A and B are shown apart, each in its own frame.
Chain A
């Protein structure tokens, strides 16, 4: 047997510790501030979701699903799924989970789309970011909990932070791909008429990349939901916490109910965001030609 020689060690772990120590001792006030603002936002969103009574929220989701999916049966199914979550006794927990997902996804979109645009414009940035994004997605998701915990302590803020890091790659990646796949003759045509780069971006690139970007948002949302559940390990309340508690107490039935609630939420969010990725002009085109 050949053991790897102990004398050859690259202390990457020590370096990461060092960097984290330095950040915590020097930038603590910055992170405290970000944490406070983040918490206020998260609480506000949760308040709104909890404030809306279930008998309004359930039909509302039903109508949104009906309109976006274009079928009343789908709308009723989605409303029914949400209703089931309530019947399990997890309404408030579901709203808490949903609020973290919404905030994490919103921040991911706000940062991810501009990053994706930059990435599509610079092949150098793309070749740098691609492996980074790959690594971010391959890394076991709870690894992100450690720095989040150190920077923001326990609770929903570090959970949101970890969720953003885990969930942001798809929206960046698919914004980049979507813009790069816009036919070059369309871009060339826009340029030939004297459009500025900004006009080209808004007139041609973003609208044509929209289906791809929406797929990215859909994936980001699904990953965010998965990560929010894992965030329960650092004290994020909600459905994930219920699953975790059920595991600890070996309460199989309760764990199943909480787990299936997460699945229902996932189905509702997935269906609605996925339908948004279809071309709207494709639909109206079919309507006009028929």
Chain B
């Protein structure tokens, strides 16, 4: 079902040097990068890369510098020409495009965000954001209107007439993002967009990208050398080394089942707090009360289970709140619904996607386990204080953790 992939990269090679095709001769094919360089003076940058990206997916290419990730992302736009192989985007082979088709492809289908922003210093923020539309040939009023809206989406309303130089790094990269989004590309390429930013701003930009992606559902290929960034943003991650992809998988897979020692070493410092989510560690509540039960029944259930309190749900499993014996004694109500309305105890809840890192402050504040609710408010499970810490200290290469 190859046609179903939105982006499909097949056997991409990139070799730098004179007559690069020499590297692909059968006699040279088996050589390592070093041997090839010694023998033919060719530098192997990408070695037989194949992967695919689904529509709406955020795909992360991760590797250290020199791993070929930036070279790879540039071949998508042919800013760097691949030596051989094909890159299918929405069914069209970019690698085989003629000059005009390629220009058309760049203007309409794909945009790129650069590590060093690549803004025009002599253009205002608005002109910068409108640049992709200008290159496409849109009229001035139209493109400025679109650019204005896009700047608003990235939170830069009011900065239109400033020059990039007077903006902070984070804001400059927002302009870069606005410029890329303004053309409404099908595919968004991001080459280490947040690497040049302060850690605090970087985290903020990552959060905003997640939020934005939640709204826009773009197909994004994101390059980074930062494992935490990859784990936070990626739907899937490809880890690169020396021009090869050595593992592709979801963030959990990469952390819990490293393909080889290189990846294992890489993910060793990945804190489980950033990778594991509430969904991974939640448990079923021991006792649950139902709204249609009377207060007396509720009291009996709690007593029988020797519990001080329990969470309550309605018949749709929607989470309602906490009920404790003390409260039942203090404010006698005819029905539990009435009781809940009278009770004003506030309970911190969380969504299944929340990472353990985000749960820490909550867990510290409350005396109860944290209820995990889906987007309709249904109770999926509870995260206990203890299980957060247990999951942090367990060994992730063990079989047990792999099941998580």
Contacts and interface: CB of A to CB of B under 8 A. Distances in A.
Q: How large is the interface on A (under 10, 10 to 19, 20 to 34, 35 or more residues)?
A: 20 to 34
Contacts of B132: 193-194
B80 to A, nearest CB: 10
Interface string A42-76: 00000000000000000000000000000000000
A127 interface: no
A87 interface: no
Given A204-B120, A208-B122, A285 B112 contact: no
Contacts of A25: none
Interface string B267-287: 000000000000000000000
Contacts of B79: 188, 191-192
Given A183-B116, A185-B117, A281 B111 contact: no
A194 B104 contact: yes
B129 to A, nearest CB: 12
B166 A195 contact: no
Q: Considering residues B135, B163, B166, B179, which has the most beta carbons from chain A within 10 angstroms of its beta carbon?
A: B135
Chain A contact residues: helix, strand, loop or mixed? helix
B16 interface: no
A195 to B, nearest CB: 5
B203 interface: no
B221 to A, nearest CB: 13
Interface string A263-290: 0000000000000000101101100110
A26 interface: no
Interface string A174-212: 000000000101101111111110010001100110000
A208 B121 contact: yes
B163 A284 contact: yes
A204 B121 CA distance: 9
Contacts of B120: 186, 189-190, 203-204, 207-208
B136 A188 contact: no
Contacts of A185: 114-118
Contacts of B103: 194, 196
A288 B118 contact: no
A289 B165 CA distance: 10
B73 to A, nearest CB: 11
Contact of A285 (B114, B116, B166): B166
Interface string B109-139: 0011011111111100000000110111000
B107 A285 contact: no
Contacts of B136: 193-194
Nearest to A199: B135
A194 B103 CA distance: 5
B118 A281 contact: no
B141 interface: no
Contacts of A188: 79, 114, 118
Q: Considering residues A185, A194, A284, which has the most beta carbons from chain B within 10 angstroms of its beta carbon?
A: A194
A195 B135 contact: yes
Contacts of B148: none
A191 B120 CA distance: 12
Interface in B231-273: none
B379 interface: no
A29 B105 CA distance: 53
A281 B163 CA distance: 8
Contact of B165 (A186, A191, A194, A285): A285
A193 B166 contact: no
Q: Considering residues B105, B107, B161, B163, which has the most beta carbons from chain A within 10 angstroms of its beta carbon?
A: B163
Contacts of B105: 194
Q: Considering residues A189, A190, A196, A204, which has the most beta carbons from chain B within 10 angstroms of its beta carbon?
A: A189
B355 interface: no
Nearest to B105: A194
B162 interface: yes
A192 B165 contact: no
Interface of A: 183, 185-186, 188-196, 199, 203-204, 207-208, 279, 281-282, 284-285, 288-289
